[in-house]
Amino acid sequence: MRSDEIKKEPSRAPHRSLLYGTGVPKSSMDRPFIGICSSFTDLIPGHTGMRDLERWIEKGVHTGGGHSFIFSVPGICDGIAMGHKGMHYSLPSRDAITDMIECVVEAHRLDGVVFLTNCDKITPGMLMAAARVDVPSVFVTAGPMLSGNWRMQRRSFVRDTFEAIAKYRSGEIDGEELEHLEMCSCPSQGSCQGLYTANTMACLTEAMGMSLPGCGSALAGQAKKKRIAFDSGVQICNLVKDDIKPKDILTENAFHNAVTVDLALGGSTNTALHLPAIANETGFKLDLNLFDKLSKNTPHITNLRPGGEYFMEDLEYAGGIPAVLKSLKTLLKDNITVTGGNIYESADSAVCFDENIIRNIDNPYHKEGGIAVLRGNIAPDGSVVKQSAVDNEMLNFTGTAKVYDSEEDALSAIMEGDVKDGNIVVIRYEGPKGGPGMREMLAPTAAITGMGLKKVALITDGRFSGGTRGPCIGHISPEAAEGGIIALVQNGDKISINIPEGKINLDVDKSQLEERKKEWVKPAPKIEKGYLAKYSMYVSSAAEGAIFKKS
């Protein structure tokens, strides 16, 4: 065992002494040492229930014959960090989490790890770490939040808070109604109720085979999640015994399956950042071409919020990710999972209890997958849009540019009524380098919806929350801070978007763009000290997953 390096031989007497000082009994020195990497925090509703799950994982580890050690990593709630300086730190925290886990697992020579996670950047950060250290690993995602309820209607975080702000500003609802909505929209522990980034990544973790069947949608705080946590503790000991490691599971087939499930669900566009970053840690290059290729042949089979009307609890009750795998089985590739079996076994054992919530691939909501990749002169390296959340009449749209050099300026303009139907809002200098940190744009996209603007698109070199709906195109690459064409857009320019054909273009003559390029001056960094300054120096483009460059 790896842990023998710190607990065997006379020369390790000091190490054993320190372990005994933690309370480890002598009888556990022959057991595998299992880390429980927990992202518990009181700051995030998706993580407040983790103290309980830690206990159930512990019970499982000791039942399975291991000895467990809890260690922690921090978490950021994207909803709370949204719309101010805090959002600069969200995406960069993913890589910090990966590095911290590497430090602990390698320094303490752990034999295996159960990763207890839930929210947006924590789950991909932990998956990156699991691939990097490559010791036996199982993931427990803490689960989705239950829907809220107000006036006998089910409520969700994004629609009934972010979008409600604009309704309040426009006079559609009053302050008392807004207060009731904010009190009722997040009624419990758990990740936000729709197919936003946290729940998308939980589902894809299961689809890749890194969590036990049913884990991705099992609801927070319920007994089923406790049983999954216990079983995951038992199973990590089996994985250590059988020497099954993350890189045995996170194969090219696993990423094929993850992208397929993502497209079928209509998941968050943030997966176009996270899956390439996870793949990079395995040595496999995953680029936007895979999303583009698979999207053409992968039907969209669910109708979950934000684009649809169902909640994560509906997906769970209809059969969860195993039922999704069952529907998609002919589109999946064989791959082992943390069960020791393969992904087909998860699909074969599933039952779908509602074929409207999880449709058969012959009766989809849309013939193509939920994410589309767009390219053109303004995004030669690519951009992404959640096409399943775009109304049909906006799939092909030409509009007039309204240009803003920050999210705050754009949001103010939208709220003040400066943006009209027929406009395309351009938010730039918000990419991985320019942000820095590639902030999410949920506030302006929700404001567009809440203000009742039906024929407005938004493009950005930043990114979008999984809660975004409408013709919102992110990850424009190259970004403005690197001299991408988005930096040259001027108010009044025409921009054409054709989602079915995968095109996005700035309708300005090439010669005119060349003249603008000569006059462009690279702006000074927005942040010049601390972690973000270091991040902006080494981060790659969104098209590569916003990963740290090796040089």
Assess whether 465 carries a catalytic annotation: yes
Dihedral sign for Cα 451, 456, 462, 463, please.
positive
Chain center to CA of 427: 21
- Compute the distance between CA of residue 355 and CA of residue 270 in angstroms, rounded to an integer: 27
Cβ(424)–Cβ(402) below 8 Å: yes
Sheet with 112-117, edge to edge strand ranges: 67-72, 33-38, 112-117, 137-141
Establish whether 78 is an annotated binding residue. yes
Q: How many angstroms separate the CA atoms of 234 and 311, rounded?
A: 31
How many angstroms separate the CA atoms of 64 and 239, rounded?
Answer: 11
Fill in the DSSP letter of residue 210: S
Q: What is residue 469's three-state secondary structure?
A: coil
With beta carbons less than 8 A apart as the criterion, state whether 402 and 324 touch.
Answer: no
**Measured on CA atoms in the order 540, 533, 385, 126, is the torsion positive or negative?**
positive
> Count of CB atoms within 10 A of residue 530's CB?
9
Taking residue 513's Cβ as centre, other Cβ atoms within 10 Å add up to 15
Return d(Cα 426, Cα 402) in angstroms, integer. Answer: 6
Is position 52 annotated in a ligand binding site? no
Q: What are phi and psi of 535, to 5 degrees?
A: -60, -45
Q: Angle between the 442-450 and 163-170 helix axes, to the nearest 10 degrees?
A: 40
Among 137, 465, 477, 536, the active-site one is 465
Residue 121 is assigned to a ligand binding site? yes
- As a whole number of angstroms, the distance between CA 11 and CA 50 comes to 37
* Ramachandran angles phi, psi of 79, nearest 5°: -65, -40
Say if residue 42 carries a ligand binding annotation. no
- The amino acid that residue 495 corresponds to is I
Tokens of 246: 């993350």
**332 in Cβ contact with 270 (< 8 Å):** no
Which residues are known to be catalytic? 465
- Cite the annotated binding site for Mg(2+) by residue number: 78, 120-121, 440
- Cite the annotated binding site by residue number: 78, 120-121, 440
